[in-house]
Amino acid sequence: MKIYKYFKIKEESFENLKNGELFFNNPSNFDDINDSNLKIRENVLKTFINKSIQYLDSIPSEKLQKLKPPKGFYEKLNTKSSSDDFLELFNEFKNYFIGITCFSESNDIQRMWDDYASENRGFCICFETNLDYPFFNGLTKVNYVEKLPTIDLTSENFEKGFEEFYTTKDEEIYDFEEEQRLVKKNQGLLKYDKNCVEEIIIGNKMSKIDKSKIITIIKEYYSDNVFITQN
């Protein structure tokens, strides 16, 4: 499956392209306060706590050390007794353990070029997800809805509810993005296999200097099979 990620013109974009890395953001940093912040049904607290503990237990210890969770995180997880207490802790879980990066199904959406690629001065990477399954495992299409739901995290629906929590957005505002979203239990820069990059699309207003940077990076750090085109 081909997906696309738009990049603004800034030094980090070139550096990440060179290193074959994508940034997984803390969802609490998103501009949209409702993104990854949906309401949760009050009567599923116990299931939510148990399942969250399982999620934490599945994270390798070296990643936990790198993420530096708040002091007493695990102890608090087992002693929270009210919905308010646990939801406060869940926000800590999001802040320290969940990272999200976003893609689009199309490379020719003008609003995406305007908003996420420096008004056509940036670039867009085409990834073939089948060429790096371990990295793209879990990629999920965003569900656009007219009214944001309350999430059900009962034992039967937990996995679906957890996914829905991070991949549901307001249809009226965001459906133009045609978004595919990758959620990982880690944050910051994560490496992908450079062989999954098939094409770099440069904006039609990109400067000659920035074009030269892109061409140099692809020649030095990627295979000859990567095409460079212009939108």
Question: For 194, what's the count of Cα atoms within 13 Å in the CB-facing half-sphere?
Answer: 15
Percent pLDDT > 90 in the chain is: 59
pLDDT for position 48? 61
- Geometric angle at alpha carbon 184, from 178 and 186, rounded to 5°: 135
* Of the candidate ranges 75-84, 90-99, 153-162, 207-216, the one whose mean pLDDT is the lowest: 75-84
pLDDT for position 37? 85
List, for residues 178-206, the tens digit of each pLDDT value: 999 999 988 999 999 999 999 999 999 99
Please state the pTM of the whole predicted model: 0.82
Q: Which of 81, 105, 77 is nearest to 92 (CA)?
A: 77
Q: Give the integer Cα–Cα distance in Å for 52 and 58.
A: 10
pLDDT for position 181? 97
Mean pLDDT (whole number) for 67-71: 51
For the chain, the distance separating the N- and C-terminal CA atoms, rounded to the nearest angstrom, is 20
Asked whether residue 165 carries a pLDDT value surpassing 90, the answer given is: no
Cβ–Cβ < 8 Å for 192, 163 = no
What is the phi/psi pair of residue 34, to 5°? Answer: -90, -15
Asked whether residue 73 carries a pLDDT value surpassing 60, the answer given is: no
Percent pLDDT > 70 in the chain is: 77
pLDDT band at 1 (very low <50, low <70, confident <90, very high): very high
Q: Which element (helix H / strand E) includes 7?
A: strand 2-7
Q: Beta-carbon neighbour count of residue 15 at 10 Å?
A: 12
Cβ–Cβ < 8 Å for 183, 159 = no
Asked whether residue 74 carries a pLDDT value surpassing 60, the answer given is: no
Q: Give the integer Cα–Cα distance in Å for 212 and 117.
A: 17
pLDDT for position 16? 98
pLDDT for position 182? 96
Cβ–Cβ < 8 Å for 162, 140 = no
List, for residues 103-140, the tens digit of each pLDDT value: 999 999 999 999 999 999 999 999 999 999 999 999 99
